[in-house]
Amino acid sequence: MFRVTESICHEEEGKGVSAVPVDDAGLCPLGRQFAALGRRYGFDYFFVGNFPKADKPEFSANALFCNWPLELKERYRTGDQFSASKLVARLKQSIVPFQSGECLFVGERNDEADHDLAGAFAACGMGFSLAFAIHDCALAHYLFVFSGEREELDRQDVANFYFECLELLDSCSSRIAQRDGPREKLSAREIECLRWSAAGKSSDEIAIILSISSHTVVSYLKSAMRKLDSVNRMQAVARACRFRLL
């Protein structure tokens, strides 16, 4: 059975993964452990990332570890079908690990662009994949995809592989978890205004409820939007809910 290297998982304790030196493939020691685990089961390539959210769908914003060829990674980043991919769609519907002989990183359109991109993955030796999602103890949601040119794994191998990934993630999740939260602490008034905005109240209605001017309400909401890095009230409310502020 694959064993987690404790010295790697506790190396540079308290620092992010980006603070740890990487190898020629751009992988830090933790990434190399995921790569080694994949190779034990016959997979040459792997991707570990955050499950995309509505307000952060981009591939580049969610990728944590990936040893794809650089040209393929850049092409995929530019096209960015990650949040609309077959992979994400499938893992929104089931928690069971699954295997597939089709490219999981393209969308459901099956147009010429999708076929070209799927061909690029296949040309790199990524014709077969095992994919699953895992939550860590802090409820962070991760995607795992291991790809290569091999036959389908039997049920017991899939179970063993899944459990070993679970062990590895559990050992290092505190190091790779993104610190998800607002850039600055929101004031009580800003949160109140967001809460009433989420309830469908207008600025004028919020002003009456809180006994302040509508101009002040707008000021609080603009400040909250800035702190939440949002472009409008709807996005600010969505992010405040995700950060469990409302």
Tokens of 123: 């040309």
Helix (H, G, I), strand (E, B) or coil at 36: helix
C-alpha 81/C-alpha 73 separation (Å) is 12
Same domain? For 52 and 147 the reply is yes
- CA atoms within a 13 Å half-sphere pointing along the CA-CB vector of 226: 9
Same domain? For 194 and 171 the reply is no
Domain holding 200, by residue range, is 188-242
pLDDT digits (tens, 9 = 90+) for 4-32: 444 334 444 444 444 455 666 678 888 99
Percentage of residues in the chain having pLDDT higher than 90 = 67
The answer as to whether 182 is a domain residue is no
Same domain? For 145 and 222 the reply is no
C-alpha 29/C-alpha 184 separation (Å) is 32
Beta bridge partners of 187: none
Q: How far is CA 82 from the centre of its chain?
A: 10
- CA atoms within a 13 Å half-sphere pointing along the CA-CB vector of 92: 11
Beta strands in the chain (DSSP E): 45-50, 63-66, 98-100, 128-135, 141-148
C-alpha 58/C-alpha 80 separation (Å) is 6
In this predicted structure, the answer to whether residue 202 has a pLDDT above a threshold of 60 is: yes
Tokens of 130: 């095992």
pLDDT at residue 244, as a whole number:
82
C-alpha 209/C-alpha 202 separation (Å) is 11
pLDDT digits (tens, 9 = 90+) for 67-107: 999 999 999 998 878 999 999 999 999 999 999 999 999 99
Same domain? For 81 and 194 the reply is no
Pick the residue with more confidence: 239 or 205? 205
Total count of domains within the chain: 2
Q: Which CATH number fits the domain that encloses residue 237? A: 1.10.10.10
Structural contact between residues 165 and 144, judged by C-beta atoms closer than 8 angstroms: yes
The answer as to whether 159 is a domain residue is yes
The answer as to whether 121 is a domain residue is yes
Same domain? For 119 and 227 the reply is no
pLDDT at residue 55, as a whole number:
72
Structural contact between residues 142 and 133, judged by C-beta atoms closer than 8 angstroms: yes
Same domain? For 28 and 134 the reply is yes
Average per-residue pLDDT for the chain: 87
Same domain? For 143 and 66 the reply is yes
The answer as to whether 71 is a domain residue is yes
Distances (CA, A) of 12 to 29, 43, 82, 168: 11, 29, 31, 17
Rounded to two decimals, the pTM is 0.69
pLDDT at residue 209, as a whole number:
95
C-alpha 131/C-alpha 140 separation (Å) is 17
The answer as to whether 21 is a domain residue is yes
Which residues are CB-neighbours of 89 under 8 A, at least 6 positions away?
Answer: 108
